[in-house]
Each structure stands twice: as C-alpha cells, then as structure tokens.
C-alpha cells in the first residue's frame, strides 16, 4: 500500500461518524420543515456539501441550505433564514458571506444554516449560494459508488500538496471541482496521469468552447457560462502538475516526506511590517494584504534597496516580510537633465547652480546634461512611513495605517512569517 | 572686449614668435632640399600644419613632410625619411604613427619630420598622412586674410570647452576642421549661431549627400568620400552645442568662469583599478583603457554591486574608478529552475537535493521551480580577479593583467582619477 492510501485511510470517516452526521443532518432538516409548515413559509431545507454526497473527509461539517421561493424579497429571506437557523441550532453565531448565515454546533458537529433562493437549472440566480443545491443534485445524479473513494483520494492528495480549498487565501481546488474531475476522468489514476502530462492550462472538458482567462477551466455543468475552476491560481496548478509528475514517477518521498532545507546565514537584511487585522472574513482581508505587500515591495524596489524576496502571513495580525540587500541609500543619486541642444538646458544649469542638493556637476554624458544630487531620504523606514502616508492601503486596512510596526533584527525571529519564509518548499 | 577675446590675445603668437617659426621651417626645408638634390632623391619637403597656414596658436610646433615620388617602395620611404630627418634635426627621437617619423627640437621649437608619398587630388593615398599636404594646399587656397583671426578664435573657444584635438583620448575637433568650418561659415559668429541652434548631427556642407554614421559630418574637400569630422564624439558635439547656446545668450560666465561643485560625502563605495601603461602612443592605449573600464563596470553590474558612476584617467598609469553601492553580496541568490510542467523539473529537484549550495527550497513561484542558492563569491575584489583571469583586456594591456592594483579607502584619495571625478563639469 502506498503512502497516499495510508493517508486516505486516516482521513476517511468511520461508518459510525458518517451515521452520526447523517442523523444530525436529517434531524435539522426535519426541524426546519416543521417550522416552515407551521409558519406557512414556502421554503425547503436541502442538505448540501460533501457529507450530502458521501465525499467528505474526517471532521467534516454539515451544510443545510434553506431554499426560499423566488417570490420572497431578499430582506425577508435573510431575516427569516437567520431566525430559523437560530431556532434549530442553539447558541449559534451569525456569519456573513454573500448573505448572513448561522453557524453553530449540534452534538459536537459544526452545522451551517444558509438561506438561499430555490432555482432550477438554467434559471437566473440571485446570489452564488443559490447554485449550491443544484451542484449537489448534479453530483449525486452522476456519481457512481466506485468514484467515492477516488474523490476522497483526490482531496487527500490535493490537501497534502496544499492546493485544496477555494478560499481566496488558498486559491486551490474546491470539493465540488474534485467531484467534477472524478466524474469526468472516472478514476484518480486517470486524472493524475493526465495532470502529470499537462502542458499549459487545465481545460475540462477538453472540447470546451467557451474561453476563460484563468489557468484552470472547469465548465460548471449546471451553468456552462461559469468557470468552476476560476479560483485556482497558476501557482497551485503548477504545484499539482509537479506533484502528479512525482506521483506517476513513484517519487512519493518528495511529495509526502521531504523536509525543507533551512539555512539562515543569508547575510541579507530583513524587515517585517506588522499590521492589525480587521475583524472581517479572510476572503476580503487577504487580497488587501497581498496588495499591501506588493506596494511595500515596490517602495523598496523603486527607492533602490534591492528587495530579493518577500513573504506574507495572515494570522491574528498581518505580517509582511521583505528581504533586501542595501542597508542605506548613498547620499548621492544621478539626476538626468535635458538634451544639451534643447532650450531647457540653460535653465537647468541655472536652476541647479542655486540648489543645495547639488553634489557634482552639472556634467554632460552623451547628448544630455546630468547632475549628481543629494538623496533626500536614505533610510527605508523613513521612506516607507512617508509613502504610506499618501497611499491607499485598502478599504479595510487604511484604519490601521498609522499603527504599522516596522520590525527588524532580533525582533522578527519568532514571527510566524519567518517560519513560513524558511519553510518554503515545493508544496 | 569679452573674455573670449582676452583669451585669443593671450594665445595668438607674437609677430616675433611667428617670424622665428617661419625662419626655422624654411631653414629645415632648405636642408632637406639640399640632401635630396645631392643624393638624387625624387622627394620634396612641404611645410604643413597650422604654422604653414598662419592659423597656429602660441607654442605651436612645426610639421615638415618629405613627400616622395610614388615609384618608391614603402620600405625605402620609411628608411630614407628617418635618415633625412635625423640629418636635419639633431638629437631627435623616432616616433610612430602610421609610419615612423622623426621628432626633435630646433632652437627650442619642436619640429616633426614625416615621410609621405606625393599624391595629387583624387589619387589613391598609401597612408592617411599622404593627404595632409593636399589639406594644406586646399586651406591656403581658400583662406582669406580676415578668416585667420576667426579660425584662432574658434580654436581658443573649442580649447576652453575641452573639445579641441583629434587624438582618440580627446575625440575633439581638429585644427583642419576648424579651418574648414570658418571657410564654410565665413566668421566665428556665424558658426557659433548655427551651433547654438543645431538639432541632431552637425552636417557640413548642409546639402551633403554622402551618408556617415558619425555625429559630426564634415566632408573633406580634397576627398568627398571621407568624413573629416569622424573623430568627434557625440559628447563633444553636445558640449559644443551647449557652449554655443551659452555664448549666444551672453553667459560667458558659465563657459569660462564657473567652478565645479565639490561635495565628497557621497556615502558610496569606490574602488580604483590601477594598470601599468604600455609604452605606446595614447591613440592606441586609450581605446583599450576605455574597453577595460567598461568590462570592469560590467562585472560590477552583472554581479549585483550596483555601480553608479565611473571615471578613467590615463596618465603615467591607467586609473579606473568605479563608484558603487553594495559592499558585499548577500550569501544567497535566487536561481530559476524549469517550469513545473517540463520534464526537467524532477531532475532539478533531485540535483538540488544533493547540493550543499542549497539555502532554501526548492519552491514554486508562478509556473516555475526556484531555489535560493549560496553565492559563491560575495567579495568584489575576488570576483574581479577571477573574471580578469579569463578575460582578454586588450592586446597591449594583457601583459600587465596580473599586476593590476585594486585600491580603495584612503589609498585612492590622492589619485588623479579622483580629482577628475570630482571636478566633472559641463566642459
């Protein structure tokens, strides 16, 4: 038995666990049905998610959608959905994706109760959650018993190489596209062989006509205008291609057992920017953190501090690491003036004669006048603080702009982002 | 009287000096004629150069060409030319341009005796010196008395802005093209106004049809296929354009009296490479020194030491200054591997697993694998010495390759190249 199968065994729920999940789900559904009947609400509870399709791994949660008739208003559906949710799951909290929903624990199992509109295949959706019950119906109608194991195998494989999960911070493969993949390829083996030979984009089905820009294109069978694989990043597709190659070449050692090399004597400079994390979901915070990281990188680059690499960690706080080469800028920088033949050249000379920033020159190189001028700010902290002041760092991050901590030296040793930096490896 | 005219007065030879030059020249010519007659050599001495055209500045030397009939062999002309030269100029030394020639002092005045072939306009030349007597003839036939002063004015002007002289290390305007310019424009004033408005190349005459690549194109009247301005660099043309603008704008203060700003707290790093100068003429050494400077600059650039500027000084030795930003390379550099989807990717992983240079990774960014690898050499002196070993640094410089001194810190303070570096100014 190969190591992947060992992992599969470890992560496949026991019969007992599965029974418990089924029991809780049907109990919740019964309760919702009862309420809807009593209050004469035209709504149906539907179990969705991996448990409803038997494709779940261990420690899965239960997703119950309450699908309301399309005649109701969005406001009614949101309000009534939360009310019913709290009714059937005690001590639950309210969360927010596209709509508010209720999340809590029943008998130790996490249960999400999500209001949605009931639509049929081809009908216009109100929000993207409305599609989920149709996904479940589709998968359950197409799935064959023998595929269940291979869907779980694919999920375990993708989890091991860190590309499972459709959250923005993961940009990986969702459970739904794992199911679509096995429905299309029949077996895990077929798919992994396909992935090991794949060049360029992943396009499923092969003969798909609609064009998408994303690196992974998996046409959603219940809405062929939608790319179900849109969330997968190029990097994660790359990781899958490499892992598939390794798997087919019987190099499971590298996929599952290799340990990253850690040598810390890099003789570079490092700074970590620590920003408070606003209390909103990661899918919204993460892209703002990525953009901030890129902005800080660009300041280092533009100012001439020679950044070499960077890392982002989003935990309780946002940590942005920039590794760079130059400690301080020199006092001097070359400033290009006009061509000598232009009418600006005399003005340039007279202006610079008066300026205390002049360090050398003016002088001529080729067909232009130059001066060496004094650098205004030579310290990266100073430059960063100044540039941040004028900068929009993201709708939800702007409020913490003045509190950004700039750490370096021994202050950064124990930060999460440092661990992430040094443990960088293939998967 | 403007300052330029003061300079002209200072640099115009006195009547007495001019008389002395004429006397020495005609005496030397008499002696050569006597020898040729006696030995029955078919050769004629011709005075060339600025003295022969009355366009000389103070402390000029005398150039006498011995033009031999074309029926003689090159070997005979060279041998006989030297023999006659030594005969008429005692204690002279032999020098070498295209042919060997004799150079010495007569009554305190430097006299060069140069053998050449006698050719007529349109005839094929053997070496470029053969053209010189024709240049003299042409100028003397075209020049008007009133132009003499303006030719000297132009020379003084070009000398002040450091663009006079056709030596390779100067790449400036020769005396001959100063004469052609005044013959064409009539007066210094006309030319300087033209230069102050000039855009792009200088092309004289305006309606010249032949195309040349050089920035200054002055068709040689005695050979219209030749560009007499070929030696002038783009930079020197730029300097002339700017100086002309300043002159026309009555800004002589900047041309003649401005002093360069010197601020030495640049907070950069500097190294000076000192190479012995081979005992050959500057026109051959200088281009090799420039190429070596560029090669050293490229090593700094390629290795990541961020060079910011450089300077070359060719005196008794060759001094090459590189100013740069980074003291030492970090221990680490990113190394790009193959795309994950290529068949090289597994090989790359296995190779790097074994290498002690591996600092971090391998890891995936976008569609490729990377490793952070240990930098082999982090010290610029070490890198330079290593690269020089494999490098051709020029036919005449290679012999001194192993003796190159690399100086920095206080060792460089008193070097000529440093003075040149800090005194860099418009002209």
Beta strands B43-48; B62-68: pairing state: antiparallel
**B415, two tokens:** 């070097």
Decide if B378 touches A, using CB distance below 8 A: yes
Decide if A355 touches B, using CB distance below 8 A: no
Question: Chain A partners of B346 at a C-beta cutoff of 8 Å?
Answer: 245-246, 249, 251
User: Residue A359: its pLDDT value, please?
Assistant: 96
Interface probe for B, chosen from A263, A264, A297, A368 (most Cβ of B below 10 Å), is A263
Question: Chain A partners of B238 at a C-beta cutoff of 8 Å?
Answer: 339-341, 364, 366-368
| DSSP three-state, residue A350 | helix
**B110, two tokens:** 């430097």
Instruction: Quote the crossing angle between the two packed helices A74-88 and A15-39, to the nearest 10°.
Output: 130
Beta strands A223-227; A269-276: pairing state: unpaired
pLDDT band at B2 (very low <50, low <70, confident <90, very high): confident
List, for residues B259-294, the tens digit of each pLDDT value. Answer: 888 899 999 999 999 999 999 888 999 999 999 999
**A319, two tokens:** 């940590």
CB A80 within 8 A of CB A115: yes
Decide if A107 touches B, using CB distance below 8 A: no
| DSSP three-state, residue A214 | coil
List, for residues B296-346, the tens digit of each pLDDT value. Answer: 999 999 999 999 999 999 999 999 999 999 999 999 999 999 999 999 999
Decide if B297 touches A, using CB distance below 8 A: no
Contact (CB<8Å) B341/A367: no
Residue B127 has pLDDT above 90, yes or no: no
Decide if A347 touches B, using CB distance below 8 A: no
Find all residues with CB under 8 Å of A403, minimum gap 6, and list them.
A275, A276
Question: Chain A partners of B331 at a C-beta cutoff of 8 Å?
Answer: 265-268
List, for residues A3-60, the tens digit of each pLDDT value. Answer: 999 999 999 999 999 999 999 999 999 999 999 999 999 999 999 999 999 999 999 9
Nearest to B273 by CA among B207, B226, B228, B323: B323
**B300, two tokens:** 């700094």
Between CA B270 and CA B127 the distance in angstroms is 44
- Mean of pLDDT values over A377-393: 95
Between CA A82 and CA A34 the distance in angstroms is 16
For residue A325, the Cα-to-chain-centroid distance in whole angstroms is 29
Three-state SS for chain B is CCHHHHHHHHHCCCHHHHHHHHHHHHHHHHHHHHHHHHHCCCEEEEEEHHHHHCCCCCCCCEEEEEEECCCCCHHHHHHHHHHHHHHHCCCCEEEECCCEEEEEEECCEEEEEEEEECCCCCCCCCCHHHHHHHHHHHHHHHCCHHHHHHHHHHHHHHHHCCCECCCCCCCCECHHHHHHHHHHHCCHHHHHHHHHHCCCCEEECCCCCCCCCCCEEEEECCEEEEECCCCCCHHHHHHHHHHHHHHHCCCHHHHHHCCCCCCCCCCCEEEEEEEECCCCCHHHHHHHHHHHHHHHHHHHHHHCCCEEEEEEEECCEEEEEEEECCCCCCCEEEEEEEECCCCCHHHHHHHHHHCCCEEEEEEEECCEEEEEEECCCCCHHHHHHHHHHCCCCCCCCHHHHHHCEEEEHHHHCCCHHHHHHHCCCCC
Name which of B329, B340, B360 is nearest A241 (Cβ-Cβ): B340
Q: Strand order of the sheet with strand B223-227?
A: B202-204, B216-220, B223-227
Cα dihedral across residues B238, B241, B244, B249: positive or negative: negative
Decide if B331 touches A, using CB distance below 8 A: yes
Task: Give the residues across from B364 on adjacent strands.
Answer: B369
CB B148 within 8 A of CB B141: no
Nearest to A322 by CA among A347, A302, A336, A339: A302
Residue B107 has pLDDT above 90, yes or no: yes
Name which of B266, B333, B422 is nearest A330 (Cβ-Cβ): B266
Question: Chain A partners of B260 at a C-beta cutoff of 8 Å?
Answer: 360-361
**B12, two tokens:** 């115009």
Least confident interval from A336-345, A395-404, B205-214: B205-214
Residue B1 has pLDDT above 80, yes or no: no
List, for residues A195-233, the tens digit of each pLDDT value. Answer: 999 999 999 998 888 789 999 999 999 999 999 999 999
> A178-189 burial by CB neighbour count: b if 16+ within 10 A, else e?
bbbbbbbbeebe
Between CA B192 and CA B244 the distance in angstroms is 5
Decide if B261 touches A, using CB distance below 8 A: yes
pLDDT band at A281 (very low <50, low <70, confident <90, very high): confident
For residue A239, the Cα-to-chain-centroid distance in whole angstroms is 15
Whole-Å CA distances, B261 to A141, A171, B243:
83, 57, 19
Cis amide leading into A362 (omega within 30): yes
Name which of A237, A331, A341 is nearest B266 (Cβ-Cβ): A331
Residue B126 has pLDDT above 90, yes or no: no
Find all residues with CB under 8 Å of A282, minimum gap 6, and list them.
A167, A168, A169, A314
Nearest to A261 by CA among A426, A115, A124: A426
**A360, two tokens:** 């050398």
Name which of B349, B368, B425 is nearest A361 (Cβ-Cβ): B425
In this structure, chain A runs to a length of 427
User: Residue B122: its pLDDT value, please?
Assistant: 81
Instruction: Quote the crossing angle between the two packed helices B132-142 and B175-185, to the nearest 10°.
Output: 30
Q: Which domains does chain A have, with CATH numbers?
A: 13-124 (3.30.460.10), 145-257 (1.10.1410.30), 269-328+378-422 (3.30.70.590), 332-374 (no CATH)
| DSSP three-state, residue A99 | coil
Between CA B159 and CA B173 the distance in angstroms is 9
Between CA A154 and CA A151 the distance in angstroms is 5
Q: What is the ipTM for the molecules in this complex?
A: 0.89
Name which of A266, A331, A365 is nearest B265 (Cβ-Cβ): A331
CB B222 within 8 A of CB B134: yes
Please give the backbone phi and psi of residue A113, each rounded to the nearest 5 degrees, phi first.
Answer: -115, 115
Taking a contact as any Cβ pair under 8 Å apart, which residues of chain A between 171 and 200 contact chain B? 198-200
Decide if B351 touches A, using CB distance below 8 A: no
Q: Where are the alpha helices (DSSP H) in A89-204?
A: 132-142, 145-160, 175-185, 188-197
Contact (CB<8Å) A245/B363: no
User: Residue B308: its pLDDT value, please?
Assistant: 94
- Mean of pLDDT values over A72-87: 96
CA dihedral A251, A256, A261, A262 (to 10 degrees): 180
Our CA angle for B324, B326, B331, nearest 5°, is: 145
pLDDT band at A1 (very low <50, low <70, confident <90, very high): low
Whole-Å CA distances, A52 to A101, A105, A120, A137, A139:
19, 18, 19, 10, 10
Between CA A334 and CA B278 the distance in angstroms is 34
Contact (CB<8Å) A268/B331: yes
Searching chain B, which residue's CA lies closest to the CA of residue A361?
B425
Contact (CB<8Å) A267/B330: yes
**Distance, in angstroms, between B262 CA and closest chain A CA?**
6
Nearest to A364 by CA among B420, B242, B308: B242
Tokens 């206080």 sit on residue: B410
- Mean of pLDDT values over A339-355: 95
Tokens 């002055």 sit on residue: B218
Find all residues with CB under 8 Å of B215, minimum gap 6, and list them.
B201, B202, B232, B233, B234, B237
Three-state SS for B194-224 is HHHHCCCCEEECCCCCCCCCCCEEEEECCEE
A351 burial type by CB count under 10 A (0-12 exposed, 13-18 middle, 19+ buried):
middle
Between CA A111 and CA A32 the distance in angstroms is 13
List, for residues B363-392, the tens digit of each pLDDT value. Answer: 999 999 999 999 999 999 999 999 999 999
Contact (CB<8Å) A330/B267: yes
For B178, half-sphere exposure in the C-beta direction (CA atoms, 13 angstrom radius) is 30
Please give the backbone phi and psi of residue A244, each rounded to the nearest 5 degrees, phi first.
Answer: -65, -40
**Distance, in angstroms, between B406 CA and closest chain A CA?**
22
Tell me what the pLDDT averaged over chain A comes to: 95
């Amino acid at each position: 038995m190969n190591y992947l199968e060992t992992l599969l065994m470890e992560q496949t729920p026991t019969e007992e666990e599965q029974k418990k999940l089924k029991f809780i789900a049907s109990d919740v559904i019964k309760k919702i049905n009862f309420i809807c009947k009593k209050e004469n609400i035209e709504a149906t509870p539907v179990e969705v998610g991996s448990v409803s399709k038997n494709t779940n791994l261990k420690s899965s949660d239960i997703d119950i959608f309450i699908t309301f008739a399309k005649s109701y208003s969005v406001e009614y559906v949101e309000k009534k959905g939360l009310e019913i949710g709290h009714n059937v799951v005690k001590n639950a909290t309210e969360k927010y994706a596209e709509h508010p929903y209720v999340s809590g624990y029943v008998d130790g199992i996490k249960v999400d109760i999500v209001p949605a509109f009931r639509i049929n295949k081809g009908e216009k959706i109100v929000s993207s959650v409305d599609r989920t019950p149709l996904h479940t119906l589709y998968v359950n109608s197409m799935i064959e018993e023998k595929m269940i194991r291979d869907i779980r195998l694919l999920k375990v494989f993708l989890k091991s190489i860190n590309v499972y999960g459709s959250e923005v911070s993961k940009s990986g493969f969702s459970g739904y596209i794992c199911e679509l993949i096995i429905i299309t390829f029949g077996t895990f083996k077929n798919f992994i062989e396909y992935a090991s030979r794949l060049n360029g984009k992943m396009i499923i089905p092969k003969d798909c006509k609609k064009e998408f820009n994303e690196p992974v294109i998996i046409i959603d069978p219940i809405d062929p205008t939608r790319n179900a694989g849109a969330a997968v990043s190029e990097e994660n597709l790359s990781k899958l291609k490499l892992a598939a190659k390794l798997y087919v070449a019987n190099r499971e050692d590298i996929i599952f057992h290799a340990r990253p090399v850690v040598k810390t004597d890099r003789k570079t400079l490092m700074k970590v920017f620590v920003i408070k994390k606003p209390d909103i979901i990661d899918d919204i915070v993460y892209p703002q953190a990525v953009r901030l990281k890129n902005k800080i990188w660009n300041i280092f680059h533009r100012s001439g501090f020679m950044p070499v690499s960077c890392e982002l960690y989003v935990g309780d706080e946002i940590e942005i690491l920039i590794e760079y080469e130059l400690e301080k800028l020199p006092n001097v920088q070359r400033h290009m003036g006009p061509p000598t033949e232009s009418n600006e050249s005399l003005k340039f000379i007279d202006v610079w004669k008066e300026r205390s920033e002049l360090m050398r020159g003016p002088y001529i190189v080729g067909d232009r006048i130059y001066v060496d001028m004094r650098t205004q700010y030579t310290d990266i902290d100073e430059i960063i603080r100044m540039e941040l002041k004028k900068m929009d760092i993201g709708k939800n991050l702007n409020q913490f702009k003045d509190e950004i901590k700039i750490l370096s030296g021994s202050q950064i040793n124990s930060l999460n982002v440092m661990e992430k930096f040094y443990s960088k490896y293939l998967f």
